[in-house]
Amino acid sequence: MVRIGAHVDQDDPLAHAAAREAEVVQFFLGDPQGFKGPVMPESADAIRESDVQVFVHAPYLINVATTNNRIRIPSRKLLEGQLKAAAELGATGLIVHGGHLNKGEDPQKGFDNWGKVFERMDCPIPVLIENTAGGDNAMTRHLDTIARLWDAVTAKAREPEKIGFCLDTCHAHAAGENLEGIVDRVMAITGRIDPGPLQRLA
């Protein structure tokens, strides 16, 4: 059975889950628009012991694809910190956006930068790369670039089984993708089905 959940506020995820009768929740650990490190919720112990399945969403500003060192390097550090905190919380996975390049830059540079992340980073839990809605130079706006990114990261990763994909159907629609059959098309790219991350986060 597919589990139905919600993106909830981080102040008290379990209370928000109970109010919605949600079996799975997604929330941030800290400021979603900042580069500060993760902040564990006061209810961390209860979350670890709960039957509610947890996914953590990394801050929006993370962009490990960029060629700008002043953004890419802090992004890598923040991604690693978020990953460790999510694992400590007992999360099933960490969701992160694919990032983007500047106008006129070769997309392969972004794919290569993503590959270096998984070449160097330990993944105690899966990292789920999420598709994004806009941006002509976004890494995960359209399925063709998602396929190229997937190939790049799985080829470089020490633990390719720890890489997953989070399909946001709202983002896909905004990006102009046909939603009919899109799950099958994404699975054709990833080449495997991992029952754990296959959730609907409303």
**Residues 80, 39: Cα–Cα separation, whole Å:** 14
Give alpha helix (H) positions in the chain. Answer: 13-20, 44-49, 69-88, 107-120, 143-156, 169-174, 182-190
Which candidate, 21, 167, 59, 60, places its Cα nearest to that of 6? 21
Could you tell me which residue, 197 or 51, shows the higher pLDDT? 51
Which candidate, 80, 19, 30, places its Cα nearest to that of 52? 19
Residue at 60: amino acid letter: Y
Query: What is the chain's mean pLDDT, rounded?
Result: 92
User: Which phi and psi angles does 142 have, rounded to 5°?
Assistant: -120, 155
In this predicted structure, the answer to whether residue 29 has a pLDDT above a threshold of 80 is yes
Q: How far is CA 55 from the centre of its chain?
A: 9
In this predicted structure, the answer to whether residue 57 has a pLDDT above a threshold of 60 is yes
Number of domains in the chain: 1
Residue pLDDT, tens place only, 139-177: 999 999 999 999 999 999 999 999 999 999 999 999 999
Beta partners for 180?
none
Confirm if 89 and 81 have CB atoms less than 8 A apart.
Answer: no
For 95, the domain range is: 4-201
Which candidate, 74, 66, 80, places its Cα nearest to that of 121? 80
Q: What is the pTM of this model?
A: 0.92
In this predicted structure, the answer to whether residue 88 has a pLDDT above a threshold of 90 is yes
In this predicted structure, the answer to whether residue 27 has a pLDDT above a threshold of 90 is yes
Q: What is the pLDDT of residue 197?
A: 43
Residue matched to tokens 């996914």: 55
In this predicted structure, the answer to whether residue 128 has a pLDDT above a threshold of 80 is yes
Could you tell me which residue, 76 or 4, shows the higher pLDDT? 76
What CATH number corresponds to the domain at position 87?
A: 3.20.20.150
Which candidate, 138, 192, 144, places its Cα nearest to that of 165? 192
Q: What is the pLDDT of residue 201?
A: 42
